Every structure is written in C-alpha cells, then in structure tokens.
Amino acid sequence: AQVTEEDLANDQTITTQVVTNGMGRHLQRYSPLDTLNRDNVANLVPAWAFSLGGEKQRGQETQPLVYDGIMYITGSYSRLYAIDVETGEEIWQYDARLPEGILPCCDVVNRGAAIYGDKIIFGTLDATIVALDYKTGDVVWRDRIADYRAGYSYTAAPLIVDGLVITGNSGGEFGIVGEVQARNVENGDLVWTRPVIEGHMGTLNGEESTMTGELNASWPGDMWQTGGGATWLGGSYDADTDTLVFGTGNPAPWNSWLRAGGTESDDLMGDALYAASRLGIDPATGEIKWHFQTTPREGWDYDGVNEVIPFVDADGNQRYATADRNGFFYVLNREDGAFVDAWPFVKDISWAEGIDENGRPIFVEENRPGDPSASADGARGETIFASPSFLGGKNWMPMSYSQRTGLFYVPSNEWGMDIWNEPVTYRRGAAYLGSGFTIKPNYEDHIGSLKAIDPLTGEWVWEVQNGAPLWGGVMTTAGGLVFTGTPEGHLVAYDDETGEELWSFQTGSGIVGQPITWEQNGTQYVSVISGWGGAVPLWGGEVAATVNYLNQGGLLWTFRLPEE
C-alpha cells in the first residue's frame, strides 16, 4: 500500500487511518466516528502504552499518524518511532544525530511527521528534513532547510500537497528570516522558497521568482534583513481555494521602537510586513495570494503562527478561523483572507481595546513597552504590564472545529506579563530580543481555559478552567466528544454541548501532545502522547514556578472500549 494524494485529501472521512497533521489538511481535528460517544465514553480503557525510553524525555508534542497497521510518532530530540497499532510493539526507531550547538528556543520538541507514497518525512532540530522508508526507517533523502548555526531550527509537522513537502522554519528569537519551502517528496529537490519578510527574494525551480512585498514599505533601513517572522508552526491547506495558509511569527527584534513601530504612522512604515500575519500562498509557485496581519507594530512577541482552519459558517459562508496569540479570535474570508470579524477569546486583553472594522488593532499605547533610548541612561525602557503574556492567549496547541456543533474548541490561557525593552544589536546565532519579561497568572485559581466558541458571534458557549496552562491539542468527534489533555496529566473527554467532564485518565506525565482517533476492525481507538515540557517550564516566569512539580515523561497511550 502507498499513501496517495487522495488519501491525504480525504483524511477526515477515511476513518481507518490518520495520514495528515490536523486529521485533514484543513486542521479541523474532527472525526466523523461515533461508536465511541457521550453514552459509552465512561467505559474507555487503555489498550496499550508505549515508552519512548532513554534518558531523553522533555516535551512530547507529537500528533500520531496511523497507516496500514502502523502508528508513526515523533519524539523529543528528533526521534521517530514506528509501532504496531494492534499490539503497541516497536517496529523500528530512527534517532537523528543532532550536532552540538543547535539553538531551539522552546524545548527540544517535534510535533509530528508527514506520510506519502512509501515514505515518512519529518524535520529535525538542526533545521533538516529527512525522508525515511516507512517499512524500515532507512533514510531515502535528507536536505538542509537552513543553517542551524545562524539560529534556525525545526519543530513542526510538514505538510504534503500535490507531491510537494511544504515546511516552515523556526528561529524567530535569533533574527532569522521566516520562510516557506516546497520540495519534491520523491527526491527532496527544492521547488520553491518564499521568504515572508518584505524585501527578500523568492525562488522557483532554482531561479529568482519575485520579491516578497515592497522594499522598505513597512521596515526602516536594513532591519528587514534580520526580520524574524519564523513560520514555525507549519500550515494548513484549503483545497477549495487551492491555497496554503501559513502563519508568521513576531518581527525581530521584539523591541518595536527599533523597527519604527513605536508610534502609529500614516503609511505602512513600522507595521513590519509580513511578520505576525497569515499568508495565503499558491502551492504550485510559492507566490503570496493574500496576507492578513493580526498584529502590526508588534511589540509583545505575539507570533501570528496559530493555525488557520477553513470552515463553512452557520449562514453558509466560506470562512477561515484563527485564535491568535494576541488574544483575539478572527474570522476571515476564504477567497482573499479579508477580515470579517474578531472577538476576544481571553479576558483582560490590555494591549488593544479591540479590532477595528478593517481588522487593525485599536492600540492602547500606554501598554506598549517603552523606548529604552527615551530613558535616562538608555538602558531600559518603561516596564508595562500586558495581557495576554508573550506565550499568548493561545500558543501552538491546536484548537478543533466540530462539524457537529459548528463550534470551535479553543485551548486558551489567562495570563499576563511585565515586559520592558532594552537595546540590542544583531549577532549571528545569538538571541535577538531587546526585551525582558516575567509572566504572571491573571487569576489565582486557574490559567488554562478550554472554551467552546461560536464563530458567528464570538460567544463563549462554555468554559472549563484548569490550574496549569493548557498546552495540548484538542480533538472533536461526531460522538459528541471533545478530547484534550492537561499538564496535570489527565486526558479528558468533555460533552461538546455542555463542557461536562465525561471521562478522564491519568497518563503519568503532563500532556502537551495532540490526540487522534481512528477505527480498526470496527473498534474506535483514541491515542495521545504524554510527556510534560514545551515552552512553559522554560519561559513561564512566575507560572513556571507554580508547575515545577510536574514530572517529565514519554509514554504513548492508546484507548478503546472493552471487548464485549
């Protein structure tokens, strides 16, 4: 058997396999399976568990893939495992040999692989992409995405469309330049590249194609050359409009005054296009079809990378939805990415009063960290409190769209930060922030908040609060279930209409992975990886201190209903 473009295109409806990140390239993470449902989920029990082994633990963020009786997962430190789905026995394991000196910003994570033909493909922390034979784990081809010594890394699941492997890059905290690349999945040959910062040149078939944006329209001087905008979370594919949708990280450095973004201007200057944006890209050529910038004049590390999910709203309109790190839930038009509406999905947003009718934030200028050069000694600008924190109202952990309820299920966090700016100059391979910060909880009893959101009105239909920040993916099913995990270790199933907890299981370590479901010989299975880590323990300030009791791990769990 070989995975085809049809398999990828129909992944949501072919319930015996999971061959794409997102359980469908639109990333809805919704399964039409309903043999497991609200009436029987209380009986769910483990079928098997698989340990990643070794002393290499840290954050386990993978979304498993299932094909032809084999489950494929990636692990921390760029490992990939093939496992028998019936028994949980290992078939083979691939360990990337990582060089000294890799510079991942936010833990040694990997979010999953891609599968096509007879190959399984994943990216490694040294900004390399590797294709393995899916039966043996032997390397078929390997290629460098970018130079890890300049701060580039890679953590996302690749996306496959029409025989091309599409990847982003990581490294935004090091003054790299965000880019999307497409390679021939058969041999790894580079087909096109699209840098996402204005002034940089794209390529197609080895030749220069077009410049991104217009030089110095929104970036002063040569700041665009180290402009950040890492495309670190990968993207979705909207088959109906034949568009890749990729998000871009914050512009570098964080200090917006150095990019002419400290004050509002009459033209685009200071907006830092196309950082902190969503881009619609032509998969055949890498040309940008449209852009929507969630946070122009970005100054709080509000990366615009979060997933964009195509859906049809209750009035029959073709829409995209995305829950941005900046705290606003956006609905965009699917043809051209144009702004439709936006609402807060967390409480206490302080950096903006709202979003205007053009989709531009209404800034609260007092809540922008101050200009260091305006301070007495030039060493530190005014410290302000901003909410959400730089780890966002929502970070990378994917939300889900239920076709059953028409609601989005958003894993969000209620927290803020003290943040200030400092002078900084670019040095290759060194952190390029120009900011300091401390994250703080906004409430004593919870940070995590799973919300069911109506995409027509922005209304929160229900909310379930959690002590620690939520950091795991969400999945919905036609059985009326919402699955997600907590850092405290529980995989939980909720009622999709009420938020009532129907089942939970303690997995032994924090869940920052992404659940899936599929069916094998008429039985519906649910799998999730457990293993606490990711950005929170590293960057979470006062919040990290409240969760430092959580243990690391590395166990993949698979559940089913008991045999009759």
Which residues are catalytic, by number? 301
Shortest separation between residue 466's beta carbon and ligand PQQ, angstroms: 16
Q: Is 155 in the site for ligand PQQ (CB under 6 A)?
A: yes
Tell me which of 22, 172, 286, 398 binds ligand PQQ, using CB under 6 A: 172
Closest CA to 397 of 501, 536, 506: 536
Partners of 172 in the β-ladder = none
Q: How many residues bind ligand PQQ (CB under 6 A)?
A: 19
Question: Strand order of the sheet with strand 435-441?
Answer: 384-386, 415-421, 435-441
SS3 223: helix
Q: Is 510 in the site for ligand PQQ (CB under 6 A)?
A: no
For ligand PQQ, give the closer residue by CB, 300 or 559.
300
- Separation of alpha carbons 430 and 434, rounded Å: 12
Tell me which of 108, 391, 470, 529 binds ligand PQQ, using CB under 6 A: 391
For ligand PQQ, give the closer residue by CB, 152 or 505.
152
Partners of 31 in the β-ladder = 477
Using CB under 6 A, which residues numbered 38 to 67 contact ligand PQQ? 61
Q: Is 485 in the site for ligand PQQ (CB under 6 A)?
A: no
Tell me which of 171, 487, 510, 513 binds ligand PQQ, using CB under 6 A: 171
For ligand PQQ, give the closer residue by CB, 3 or 417.
417
Backbone dihedral angles phi then psi of residue 539, each to the nearest 5 degrees:
-120, 0
Shortest separation between residue 152's beta carbon and ligand PQQ, angstroms: 9
316 contacts: CB under 8 Å, gap ≥ 6: none
Cα-based distances in Å from 118 to 128, 132, 393, 426: 20, 8, 39, 43
From residue 517 to residue 556, what is the string marking binding to ligand PQQ with x (rule CB under 6 A)?
-----------------xx---------------------
- Separation of alpha carbons 160 and 167, rounded Å: 9
Q: Is 395 in the site for ligand PQQ (CB under 6 A)?
A: yes
Partners of 161 in the β-ladder = 164
Shortest separation between residue 519's beta carbon and ligand PQQ, angstroms: 30
- Separation of alpha carbons 479 and 32, rounded Å: 8
Partners of 462 in the β-ladder = 452
For ligand PQQ, give the closer residue by CB, 8 or 386.
386
Q: Is 279 in the site for ligand PQQ (CB under 6 A)?
A: no
3-state DSSP of 350-393: CCEEEECCCCCEEECHHHCCCCHHHCCCCCCCCCEEECCCCCCC
Q: Is 96 in the site for ligand PQQ (CB under 6 A)?
A: no
Strands 415-421 and 435-441: antiparallel
Residue span binding ligand PQQ (CB under 6 A) among the ranges 101-109, 137-145, 287-295, 335-343: 101-109
Cα-based distances in Å from 440 to 197, 397, 422: 32, 20, 20
Tell me which of 75, 123, 175, 249 binds ligand PQQ, using CB under 6 A: 249
Residue span binding ligand PQQ (CB under 6 A) among the ranges 62-70, 85-93, 167-175, 369-377: 167-175
Tell me which of 170, 218, 248, 294 binds ligand PQQ, using CB under 6 A: 170
For ligand PQQ, give the closer residue by CB, 61 or 238.
61
For ligand PQQ, give the closer residue by CB, 304 or 489.
304
Task: Tokens 């590395």: give the residue.
Answer: 554
- Separation of alpha carbons 556 and 142, rounded Å: 27
Shortest separation between residue 232's beta carbon and ligand PQQ, angstroms: 4
Using CB under 6 A, which residues numbered 287 to 346 contact ligand PQQ? 303
SS3 256: helix
Using CB under 6 A, which residues numbered 109 to 128 contact ligand PQQ? 109
Using CB under 6 A, which residues numbered 192 to 231 contact ligand PQQ? 230
Shortest separation between residue 372's beta carbon and ligand PQQ, angstroms: 22
- Separation of alpha carbons 174 and 229, rounded Å: 11
Shortest separation between residue 155's beta carbon and ligand PQQ, angstroms: 4
Q: Is 470 in the site for ligand PQQ (CB under 6 A)?
A: no
Shortest separation between residue 540's beta carbon and ligand PQQ, angstroms: 10
Q: Which residue is nearest to ligand PQQ (CB)?
A: 172
Shortest separation between residue 395's beta carbon and ligand PQQ, angstroms: 5
- Separation of alpha carbons 508 and 551, rounded Å: 8
Task: Tokens 């089913």: give the residue.
Answer: 560
3-state DSSP of 262-292: CCCCCCCCCCCCCCCEEEEECCCCCCEEEEE
For ligand PQQ, give the closer residue by CB, 116 or 532.
532
- Separation of alpha carbons 492 and 477, rounded Å: 13
Q: Is 511 in the site for ligand PQQ (CB under 6 A)?
A: no
Residues engaged in binding ligand PQQ (CB under 6 A): 61, 105-107, 109, 155, 170-173, 230, 232, 249, 303, 391, 395-396, 534-535
